[in-house]
A and B are shown apart, each in its own frame.
Chain A
């Protein structure tokens, strides 16, 4: 049986340094030992078998890890299924090789966002955070209910203290997070 063209993987198609990139990026947050575990996967599939998101989508944790190990950078970063993971940690807890699967998925998502792969719905949530300091800002209905329950109308958070919100936004700008998520001031 001869192989069709798309069944052949050519060495030249692989970005063999990608796994190093993933380890290096993850190490800055989770430490070198944790980030390096991506190399330990033996493709047993316990992660995929344990995954509640994988039961209802085409998201396959094992495949994402394999793509990373082999250097299918595009496959790992552009697949929308990467965003079906709820970060429940079941795979990470059950991995017999100690691979920090969930930490690696968050690392891969960071790299994907850096390459511009972020959906409008996620940009919107980031916008709430940048404008108010909260992913879920308060609304009028809740303000009324707070008073009825004997709580302060406005919670003592960035909602109440303008100076604190200023500090928060200063960090966001300094880190370039607003640029990263395509935040435009004055938009809703």
Chain B
């Protein structure tokens, strides 16, 4: 059985535990075991804390990486922000000797040392690479035929390409292929690769600018009759889900587009119920997509 340490971050365990439940349940079906990373903190968020002080960002990220090194397993995670921080910090610490020395000097005060022994892998890499599209297709009990999905990759899953190494960031295929393995259709829409608006400390600092980007993306999804938006990122997920309630109160615009993390979509297709995937506990109810599924 393949084992990973599960980096939880903040938004998934502390706001959207449905994503955590869906991810644990679906990975278990494929024989992937997740170990706890006891005492892990915020990644820390790349656009917020990386913008305040990059040295602090690197040291606190390294502390998290050390916990995984001690457990001797690669990290997997469900948020592009966590991925951006931990994957990039891991990369920088392995390639920038000056940074490594400085970071380890700081970590010595809590008896830790970054050694560079593990890798950081997005949970989408586990599904696409380790498990594979064929096994996913075989696991489907309730094919999502006729369901139109607006795929939102999010920025930090793929960019910067030089560091992530997942190929094209303008026309990627990974998430679209994973979505289509459930029987659903990934629909094309305008400015598909545009940011959700949450990152870079913009959500916390300039909410109107942040939500205006979300509004534009949601309108483009609705324009092509999407039944749901699916992302691989807990922060994009929050931005689209809670964002719809905020957009309604800011500008009185209502989209009512259910927001699903990839493992919640996969969970539905594998026959899990909406309750255990936490879909009934989000801002936007899942009824639109569930109704279409039950009419099949």
Contact = CB atoms under 8 A, between A and B. Distances in A.
A93 B41 CA distance: 30
A85 B200 contact: yes
Contacts of A125: 48, 201, 204
Indicate the member of A86, A119, A133, A177 with the most B CB atoms within 10 Å: A86
Interface residues of B, number: 72
B110 interface: yes
A52 B210 CA distance: 10
Contacts of B170: 93
Interface in B24-72: 24, 36-42, 44-56, 58-60, 63
B17 interface: yes
A84 interface: yes
Given A85-B200, A142-B15, 15 more contacts: A28-B102, A52-B194, A56-B213, A88-B194, A89-B156, A122-B205, A126-B48, A129-B44, A135-B49, A146-B17, A149-B278, A155-B13, A161-B39, A175-B56, A177-B53
B74 to A, nearest CB: 18
Interface string B91-103: 0100110110010
Indicate the member of B8, B59, B159, B204 with the most A CB atoms within 10 Å: B204
A106 B278 CA distance: 35
Contacts of A27: 98
A133 to B, nearest CB: 4
Interface in B156-208: 156, 159-161, 169-170, 193-195, 197-202, 204-206
B63 A167 contact: yes
Indicate the member of A89, A119, A165 with the most B CB atoms within 10 Å: A89
Contact of B109 (A151, A171, A180): A171
A53 B209 contact: yes
Given A134-B41, A151-B17, A151-B21, A57 B209 contact: yes
Indicate the member of B41, B109, B160 with the most A CB atoms within 10 Å: B41
Contacts of B46: 87
A134 B10 contact: yes
Contacts of B60: 168, 171-172
A106 B197 contact: no
A53 B159 contact: no
A14 interface: no
A23 B152 CA distance: 34
Contact of B40 (A135, A157, A172): A157
B206 A107 contact: no
A129 B42 contact: yes
A86 B199 contact: yes
Contacts of A174: 106, 109
Given A89-B155, A110-B51, A122-B201, A170 B41 contact: no
B11 interface: yes
B274 to A, nearest CB: 12
Contacts of A164: 38-41
B125 interface: no
A157 B41 contact: yes
Indicate the member of A102, A113, A135, A163 with the most B CB atoms within 10 Å: A135
A156 interface: yes
A70 interface: no
Nearest to B45: A135
Indicate the member of A134, A165, A177 with the most B CB atoms within 10 Å: A134
Given A86-B210, A87-B46, A151-B17, A135 B53 contact: no
A185 interface: no
Given A29-B99, A158-B41, A164-B38, A121 B205 contact: yes
Nearest to A126: B52
Given A157-B8, A175-B55, A181-B52, A93 B201 contact: no
Nearest to A172: B56
A42 interface: no
A106 B281 CA distance: 35
